[in-house]
Amino acid sequence: MQKGKMKTGYHNDMQYVRTLRSYFLAIAFIFIISLAAGYCYPLYFPEEATASFGDIGGMFEWITSLNPVLLMLAIFANNALKSFAALLFGLGFGIIPVLFVASNGFIVGLVVNLSSKTEGLLFTAAAIVPHGIIEIPMILLSAAIGLRLGCLMFSVIKGKTIDIKYEVKKSVTFYLHWIVPLLFLSALIECFITPLAILVVL
């Protein structure tokens, strides 16, 4: 009986993912464009980019003093809370998730450019890829859910009959079932696997 419920739950989740396809593609496009903009930013505004890079490092400097377990929990909490906010605040016509993804894409592009110049491209890849292959898609997926909720809210205002409470509940359930565990896994990798990958390329 329990296995049947699990299969049904998985099937429902996969059906839900299919409804997110167009929203995810839109969010991924915004992320890629923002990433490219962030990467190109130092080419045109080198001084401002360097200052921004220093500010970004300063914002997270306190985290580096934590032991690995606390660091993992801090990273997980940061990603989980921000992703959930992007999802939930998407009800405001999808504006927040779009801004969230655009700003994150820009920062990643900026960091990749400047870090690859100072530390090398291989080091930068080792510092981002191991956990980033899980973390980034989960953040984009959260934003895609938020964008979908925003579009549904807009449809309601236009007069369509949509059970928004049900849609929010379904979205939060999916977030808890899939996105939260995978964000935890990415934080685990970032703290215990990514440093090993960096050591390999040093």
Conformational region of residue 190, where left means phi above 0, alpha means psi within -120 to 50, and beta covers everything else: alpha
Q: Could you give the CA distance from residue 88 to residue 82 in angstroms, rounded to a whole number?
A: 10
End-to-end CA distance of the chain: 52
Residue bearing tokens 């530390």 = 119
Q: How far apart are CA 78 and CA 35, in angstroms?
A: 20
What pLDDT score was predicted for residue 154? Answer: 94
d(CA 73, CA 2): 31
Q: What is the pTM of this model?
A: 0.92
Alpha-carbon span 3 to 174, nearest angstrom = 18
pLDDT digit string (tens) for the chain, length 202 residues:
455 555 567 888 999 999 999 999 999 999 999 999 999 999 999 999 999 988 887 777 777 778 999 999 999 999 999 999 999 999 999 999 999 999 999 999 999 999 999 999 999 999 999 999 999 999 999 999 999 999 999 999 999 999 999 999 999 999 999 999 999 999 999 999 999 999 998 8
The confidence score (pLDDT) of residue 1 equals 42
Nearest partner of 83 among 178, 193, 18, judged by Cα: 178
